[in-house]
């Protein structure tokens, strides 16, 4: 299936993988609607690309306003080929901390907000019989890890939601892609001890775009070597896994 990436929305475009995707898409000639809460950071990302990148300062957790912003973005772009949801929240959680406020933030940013954007995109793309929906999940969603239960839960939920959306929409020509990165050098991970196989946001963006352009409604690890690691992790019996320190 030919995949068009000419008119694209990137949610969470102010930093990390979202910023890298915005730059890569714009450099390739796409018109990009860059959405994020921090307008000043968006302007820095968009600056070199002139009219190819339009910025929208918007708190994506304001889900009641997402339909209004979505409609405006589509009108400004003159149509829509793809939505990339890259926004994410992972506040630090201490060993003995059970903080519902932090958990709620992760649920809102990592699960509810992408559903709000992707439901709208899915309806539009299904009617058009074309379009791509790309969600950034995580290897953290493959098992429930002791250090941040809510983050793991939101990423597992997003992975499952995207799988269900793929099963619903792929028969109508909609390309639904789940990206499960390992450790990527972003503001979210910077300074975190014990990271390995760390890749840059630009390297992750190249892999994400390659998987999206395949047009096969896929789920993939970035980089691909995490597939083997996660197969091993998922095979560890729970009675052993709970004793591990990750």
pLDDT in tens, 15-41: 999 999 999 999 999 999 999 999 999
pTM: 0.94
Domain chopping of the chain, boundaries: 7-241
Span 3-22, mean pLDDT?
Answer: 96
Cβ atoms of residues 177 and 5 within 8 Å: no
pLDDT of 229 > 80? The answer is yes
CATH superfamily to which 7-241 belongs? NAD(P)-binding Rossmann-like Domain (3.40.50.720)
pLDDT at position 194, please?
63
In 3D space, the residue among 31, 36, 4 whose CA is nearest the CA of residue 17 turns out to be 36
pLDDT at position 149, please?
96
pLDDT at position 183, please?
84
pLDDT at position 191, please?
61
pLDDT of 188 > 80? The answer is no
pLDDT at position 198, please?
79
Here the tokens at position 22 are 């915005």
Span 208-215, mean pLDDT?
Answer: 96
DSSP 129: T
SS3 for 72-95 is HHHHHHCCCCEEEECCCCCCCCCC
What's the Cα-to-Cα distance from 114 to each of 27, 146, 174, 227, 243, rounded to whole Å?
A: 25, 24, 17, 24, 33
Span 204-208, mean pLDDT?
Answer: 96
Query: Using CA atoms, how far apart are residues 226 and 222, in angstroms rounded to an integer?
Result: 7
Q: What is the pLDDT of residues 135-164, one digit of tens each?
A: 999 999 999 999 899 999 999 999 999 999
Torsion angle of C-alpha atoms 103, 40, 56, 105, degrees rounded to 10? 0
Band of the pLDDT at 130, cuts 50, 70, 90? very high
In 3D space, the residue among 87, 151, 76 whose CA is nearest the CA of residue 118 turns out to be 87
pLDDT of 1 > 80? The answer is no
The rounded percent of the chain whose pLDDT value lies above 70 is: 96
- In the sheet that 175-181 helps form, which strands lie side by side, from edge to edge? 53-57, 31-36, 7-11, 82-85, 132-136, 175-181, 219-222
């Amino acid at each position: 299936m030919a995949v068009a990436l000419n008119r694209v929305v990137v949610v969470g475009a102010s930093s990390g993988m979202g910023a890298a995707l915005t730059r890569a898409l714009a450099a390739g000639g796409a018109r990009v609607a860059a959405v994020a809460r921090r307008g000043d950071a968006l302007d820095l990302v968009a600056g070199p690309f002139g009219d190819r990148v339009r910025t929208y300062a918007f708190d994506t957790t304001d889900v009641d306003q997402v339909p209004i912003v979505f409609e405006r973005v589509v009108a400004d772009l003159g149509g829509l080929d793809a939505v990339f949801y890259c926004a994410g929240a992972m506040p630090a959680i201490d060993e003995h901390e059970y903080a519902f406020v932090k958990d709620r933030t992760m649920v809102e940013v990592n699960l509810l907000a992408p559903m709000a954007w992707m439901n709208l995109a899915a309806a539009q793309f299904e009617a058009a019989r074309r379009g791509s929906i790309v969600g950034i999940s995580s290897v953290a969603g493959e098992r429930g890890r002791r250090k941040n239960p809510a983050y793991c839960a939101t990423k597992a939920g997003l992975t499952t939601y995207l799988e269900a959306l793929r099963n619903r929409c792929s028969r109508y020509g909609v390309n639904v892609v789940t990206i499960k990165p390992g450790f990527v050098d972003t503001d979210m991970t910077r300074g975190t001890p014990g990271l390995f196989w760390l890749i840059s946001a630009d390297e992750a963006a190249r892999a994400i775009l390659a998987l999206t352009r395949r047009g096969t409604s896929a789920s993939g690890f970035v980089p691909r070597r995490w597939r083997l690691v996660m197969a091993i992790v998922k095979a560890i019996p729970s009675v052993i896994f709970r004793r591990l320190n990750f």
